[in-house]
Amino acid sequence: MPIINNIHTNNVTIGVNIRYTRLLKNISISDLAHKVGVKVYYIQRCEAGETEIPPPLLQDIANVLGVTIATFINTTKRVPTSKESYLSKALKAINELEDSIIQNQDDKEYTLIDTDNSNSRLD
């Protein structure tokens, strides 16, 4: 039983790190899936820790995101006292990052709409 839990924890840790890195690099899940040659659903399962990622695919993901595999596996620099605590903080950071990206996209869309309206006016 501990081995299964450890494998699941490792899959979740790797998935959380992939998602966090992908969001930091502002790459959509569909872009990542397309660039590594898998379905979006498969990347979603990987990021959720529901499946073990084969090493060649993990390397492809790392290459697309411009990082090393160690970025996904090594958590020693960021790990607090327990893995659950680390995962909770990582998921919170991901949610905050997603909110920030959505807010920035909303601001850009508003600016673009605003600019288009002002350019189309004839005085």
Residue 27: predicted pLDDT: 92
φ, ψ of residue 74 in degrees (nearest 5): -80, 125
In 1-123, alpha helices (H): 2-24, 29-36, 40-47, 55-65, 70-73, 83-119
Residue 88: predicted pLDDT: 72
Q: What is the pLDDT of residues 52-87, one digit of tens each?
A: 999 999 999 999 999 999 888 866 444 444 555 666
Residue 105 has pLDDT above 80, yes or no: no
Mean pLDDT of the chain: 75
Domain harbouring 90, CATH code: 1.10.260.40
* Domains in the chain, number: 1
State the residue range of the domain holding 23. Answer: 2-119
16 and 49 in contact (C-beta within 8 Å)? yes
Q: What's this model's pTM, rounded to 2 decimal places?
A: 0.60
